[in-house]
């Protein structure tokens, strides 16, 4: 018997490479589990024109998760019950969708790209699961979500912030949201006072929900390979949400985190800020809310003008002049000094402390959102 010239290990490696090359060229529109997804997607453009391929658009954040083990683990950690309706944002070609359909009663998938709408619908049909799937072909930030029990999604990273806002402040009751997020964004969501990533997003989300880190996911598990790694987090609504006007809270945290490393005294004593708060105090409208997610969450709806029992036109005296501004600045400083927060930086303040401070401001008649100042007095508790 003639022995091969090359050692056996070299032959095996060659065979593996050949198989790898074959799979790379014939990856169907739903990319299979591959070991190194980045290399596999690195094909010539003309190859991705072949029938069965969907050309992925980076600008739409189309990075498909192809590792079956990770997809299974996301579904398992989500604790889906057979009676559940799952909301999936951005199903893409359906890698996650099929697994969700196998676990849930129904999946509602919201997808902005028509080609993906078709791809995920076909894929569900191939698996004889089409009857459980509803696809909404719309931008998830504009779409009206139907009733759902939980969210499970590998979301497009460019809409992470407003989408998380829409889920947690959107008014729908939900059990949990399992989200695959850009690692840095997940770190910001999870940050605590004193951490360098601590920010307004964490503060706002923590008011209404708890966030748990489930696992890290390497960028190599996606097709095509993004520039950054990812993390899976689970967001669960808090059993008890503090009794605070959400629009007022969000306007307050926007003000405090305007410069997160400045002291609250320095931020709140700025001439521009004093004038703005004075106008709100006087009952004047200072234009539309600047946070786009305010309107998407309906937080500005349903507020009526409220008159007070004192006899000024807006229920309060309206000092407009410079004297008025310095009087008002003094009022702000008084509150800050009373609670000892003048020299504190927002990057180190907890939610309990922010709530306490807002309550003190509101009790002194200082509001941060125009609609709040016209409401019956409602303060954080």
Determine the Cα–Cα distance for residues 110 and 91; give it in Å rounded to an integer.
7
Which one of residues 87, 96, 225, 289 is an interface residue with ligand SAM (CB under 6 A)?
A: 96
Give the range of 105-113, 164-172, 257-265, 326-334 binding ligand SAM by CB under 6 A: 105-113
Is residue 183 at the binding interface for ligand SAM, with CB under 6 A as the rule?
A: no
Which residue lies nearer to ligand SAM by CB, 84 or 111?
111
Specify the pairing of strand 133-136 against strand 106-110.
Answer: parallel
Determine the Cα–Cα distance for residues 93 and 185; give it in Å rounded to an integer.
24
User: Shortest Cβ distance from residue 78 to ligand SAM (Å)?
Assistant: 14
Do the annotations mark residue 63 as ligand-binding?
yes
Is residue 112 at the binding interface for ligand SAM, with CB under 6 A as the rule?
A: yes
Which one of residues 24, 38, 129, 141 is an interface residue with ligand SAM (CB under 6 A)?
A: 141
User: Shortest Cβ distance from residue 174 to ligand SAM (Å)?
Assistant: 18
Distance of CA 369 to the CA centre of its chain: 22
- DSSP characters over 183-217: HHHHHHHH--TTSTT--HHHHHHHHHEEEEEEEEE
- DSSP characters over 225-242: --SS-EEEEEEEE-SS--
Do the annotations mark residue 287 as ligand-binding?
no
Determine the Cα–Cα distance for residues 32 and 45; give it in Å rounded to an integer.
19
Do the annotations mark residue 65 as ligand-binding?
yes
Helix (H) / strand (E) element for 106: namely strand 106-110
Backbone angles phi, psi at 108, to 5 degrees: -110, 115
Q: Which residues contact 378 (CB under 8 A, 6 or more apart)?
A: 243, 245, 248, 362, 372
Nearest Cα neighbor of 41 from 254, 303, 32 is 32
User: Shortest Cβ distance from residue 36 to ligand SAM (Å)?
Assistant: 16
Is residue 205 at the binding interface for ligand SAM, with CB under 6 A as the rule?
A: no
Is residue 61 at the binding interface for ligand SAM, with CB under 6 A as the rule?
A: yes
Which one of residues 84, 111, 245, 291 is an interface residue with ligand SAM (CB under 6 A)?
A: 111
Residues numbered 1 to 60 that lie near ligand SAM (CB under 6 A) are 60
Nearest Cα neighbor of 77 from 182, 212, 190 is 212
Which one of residues 37, 65, 135, 201 is an interface residue with ligand SAM (CB under 6 A)?
A: 65
Is residue 210 at the binding interface for ligand SAM, with CB under 6 A as the rule?
A: no
User: Shortest Cβ distance from residue 262 to ligand SAM (Å)?
Assistant: 34
Which residue lies nearer to ligand SAM by CB, 56 or 190?
56
Would you list which residues are annotated within the binding site for S-adenosyl-L-methionine? 63, 65, 90, 111, 139, 154
């Amino acid at each position: 018997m003639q022995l091969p010239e090359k050692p056996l290990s070299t032959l095996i490696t060659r065979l593996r490479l050949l198989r790898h090359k074959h799979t790379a060229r014939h990856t169907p529109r739903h990319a299979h589990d591959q070991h190194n997804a980045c290399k596999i997607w690195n094909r010539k453009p003309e190859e991705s024109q072949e029938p069965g391929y969907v050309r992925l658009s980076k600008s739409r954040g189309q990075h498909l998760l192809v590792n079956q083990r990770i997809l299974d683990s996301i579904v398992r950690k989500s604790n889906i019950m057979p009676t559940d309706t799952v909301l999936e944002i951005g199903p893409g070609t359906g890698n996650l969708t099929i697994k969700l359909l196998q676990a849930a009663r129904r999946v509602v998938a919201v997808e902005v790209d028509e080609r993906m709408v078709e791809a995920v619908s076909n894929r569900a049909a191939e698996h004889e699961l089409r009857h459980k799937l509803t696809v909404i072909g719309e931008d998830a930030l504009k779409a009206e979500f139907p009733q759902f029990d939980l969210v499970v999604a590998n979301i497009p990273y460019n809409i992470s912030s407003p989408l998380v806002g829409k889920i947690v402040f959107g008014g729908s009751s939900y059990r949990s949201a399992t989200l695959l997020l850009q690692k840095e964004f997940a770190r910001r969501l999870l940050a605590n006072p004193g951490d360098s990533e601590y920010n307004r997003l964490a503060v706002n989300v923590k008011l209404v929900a708890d966030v748990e880190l489930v696992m890290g996911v390497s960028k190599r598990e996606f097709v095509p390979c993004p520039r950054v790694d990812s993390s899976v987090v689970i967001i669960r609504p808090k059993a008890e949400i503090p009794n605070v006007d959400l629009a007022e809270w969000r306007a307050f945290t926007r003000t405090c985190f305007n410069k997160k490393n400045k002291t609250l005294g320095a931020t709140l004593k700025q001439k521009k800020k004093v004038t703005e708060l004075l106008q709100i105090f006087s009952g004047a409208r200072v234009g539309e809310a600047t946070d786009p997610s305010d309107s998407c969450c309906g937080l500005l709806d349903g507020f009526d003008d409220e008159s007070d029992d004192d006899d000024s036109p807006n229920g309060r005296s309206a000092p407009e002049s410079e004297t008025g501004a310095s009087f008002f600045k003094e009022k702000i400083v008084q509150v800050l000094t009373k609670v000892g927060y003048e020299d504190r930086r927002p990057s180190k303040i907890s939610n309990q402390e922010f709530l306490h401070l807002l309550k003190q401001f509101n009790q002194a008649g200082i509001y941060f959102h125009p609609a709040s100042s016209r409401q019956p007095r409602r303060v954080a508790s």
